[in-house]
Chain A
Amino acid sequence: MKTPNNPYAPKLARIVETEMENATVKTFRVVFEDQAYMQSFSFKPGQVGQLTAFGAGEATFVINSPPTRMDYLQFSVMRAGEVTTALHMLKEGDLVGVRAPLGNAFPVEDMKGKNVVLIAGGIGMAPLRTLLLYMLDNRADYGDILLIYGTRSPDDFCYKADMAEWGARDDMKVVETVDSACTLWTKCVGLVPNVLLDEKPSPGNAVAVTCGPPIMIRFTLEALGKLGFTDEQIITTLERRMKCGMGLCGRCNIGEKYVCVDGPVFTMAELRELPPEL
């Protein structure tokens, strides 16, 4: 039995497909059991959801499929703790719980007509995937698109099939980079911030969106500053430990803002207004 409007109650969703992205990241494609709910479900690129592995608990992941492709919702889960390990045990046909959508989204309306630079590191590609696919599905609305995606080694890339497809397109540029040279890797070698400086995207009529590990973000922000991007032109998505996803349980606050409801998407200008506690 369900109580209407209980924000803690997950909706049941069936796993229709899974895929190992790399050694630790598993992607799940899920469909709500309630067909009417699935049909009426809507979200914006960048919003997150809570996935339940029944018996283990809940954890937060971005919906990395775009709202323009509603055959399923896609989540990518890096195995790190109890809940993510339990999620990794699940396979096609199993049921998960989903509470979504939560949080805010990328300002896709404000970004219309602008050139977009996407800068991703590691699993930080997940939120940028939904944004990129959304823009590609509304291609005429956006200017030049540049994607710089870096990982430690070639094996660590996620969404390898997507990357091949994006790389083959002539209406965007993709730069894949790894931290250090290795055999059979013929593409770019170098840390993401340095590759960004080499690419020299113009800040004119542009927006930069970045997501990745804190150390990469730090140097990427410096690099964007050198290139002439202002705080209003830089967008990032933040990670925090979360439980409730509705601004109640307390742990994801930065000052008076909660990453789970006021975020995860912030402009640098917005972050500068908050106490420095990243």
Chain B
Amino acid sequence: MKRNKTGLALLYMILTAWALTTIYPLFWVLENSFKAKDKILQQSFALPVGELFTLANYKRAFERLDIVHAYINSIFISTCVTIGVMILAGLASFALVRFDFRLKKFCHTMVIAAMMFPVFSTIIPVYTMETSWHITNTSSWGLNMLSVILPQVAGNISFAIIVLMGYVQSLPLELEEAAHLEGCSIPQIFVRIIVPLGKPSFVTVAIFSFLWSYNDLFTQMFFLRRPEMQAITRLLNELTSKEGTNYGLMASAVTLVIIPVIVVYIFLQKYIIKGMTAGAVKG
């Protein structure tokens, strides 16, 4: 189809304008993380070269903030959540699609209804419950991590089941029947056929759970209240109230948190985009 040149140029201009709104703020915070506080307030658009350049913000960030620990905590929590969700949802979706049992419909409804609970409506009793198990606000690192992992697993499970059910449904039954004839038991069918063939779907679920857990501030605010237990988002939030006027430190902290995510995103963008939008686009 033919088209005029000015129209096309205009199109690209509008599209680029929006692209700038997403790229520029990040670039801006990156360049300002290398400047002293007063320079950020005066010359925030200048590139940090020559006189302007300083690494002081980063030095201070590593001195004052326990960023390394927060990273370890965050990654540990999110990895556990991801593994937990994949195993539990994988097994459940397999059973819900393939098996024939009396309460099947009811179970299915329960999964869908569970997606409707906003986290606000369960968090207070969950905290109380975990307190009675003595896993909140303890000096034990493992237990404290567990106290945030468990509710996050629960929060992701129903979504993961829905996505994986769609996948199991699309598998040809003949394959499993053939395996059965070959002498595979049901757990073997699950491990040798369902899981390997469903790799893309499991990746989708994994990415969704990981990112959701990694970025979730609300749950962390409830369960990770001790300074040494903080995860990345909690640390950032704390930073606003403690060092709200130390703009250089803020810029460097934001950069330190954002950069790894962007690097991962650039490499895995195809899967990430698919993973994050999986719930919305049916099929």
Same complex? no
